[in-house]
Amino acid sequence: MRSGSPRVQSRPTQGFSYIAMLATVAVLGVGLAAIGQAWSDQQRREREADILRIGSLYAEAIARYHRMAPGSVKTYPATLQDLLHDPRFPGTVRHLRRLYPDPTNPKRPWLPIPAPEGGVQGVYITSAQAPVRQAPLVLGAVTLPPARHYHEWRFIPTVTP
């Protein structure tokens, strides 16, 4: 017979796996949140770059339309459609390949800014989102002042009479 007290088996690691799993899930959650925020910021920057690129394309097309007017009277296009096929010339003259949608909402078009003497002198979008870039921007024929919302950016080319 054995003498002494019965041997008690202790389990010091009981519950360790559960705590390790909780810590792993917490670390993964924080990591995914950081990645999600970085991805969201990158998407905003890409969308803003598209707004600036497309707005500049419209402004350059409007300036080209105005500059190429036959005769001494310079006019703006009556509609944005006139940039796709200039009705003032007998042949096909295109100032823009297609009418681009709003990058913040592809179901919305760019809206025309009417010229004082008639026609379209520029374009803008209706998005109330805040731009990433807050400083003034110079984009070729267009200068954009600081804005709190995208709809404050007016893509109006500087044309000489």
Q: Is the pLDDT of residue 1 over 70?
A: no
Residues comprising the chain, all counted? 161
Confidence of residue 140 (pLDDT cuts 50, 70, 90): confident
Question: Rounded to the nearest 5 degrees, what angle is found at the Cα of 100, between the Cα atoms of 97 and 103?
Answer: 145
Average pLDDT rounded to a whole number, residues 2-20 = 66
Half-sphere exposure of 104 (CA within 13 A, CB side): 18
Average pLDDT rounded to a whole number, residues 100-114 = 93
Rg (CA), the chain: 30
Measure the CA–CA gap between 116 and 145, rounded to whole angstroms. Answer: 21
Tell me the per-residue pLDDT of 51-106, one tens digit each, with 9 for 90 and over.
Answer: 999 999 999 999 999 999 888 888 999 999 999 998 888 888 899 999 999 999 99
The two tokens of residue 127 are 């998005």
Cβ burial of 151 (10 Å; 0-12, 13-18, 19+) is middle
Tell me the per-residue pLDDT of 35-50, one tens digit each, with 9 for 90 and over.
Answer: 877 787 888 899 999 9
In 11-159, alpha helices (H): 16-67
Confidence of residue 4 (pLDDT cuts 50, 70, 90): low
Q: What is the pTM of this model?
A: 0.76
3: left (phi over 0), alpha (psi -120 to 50) or beta: beta
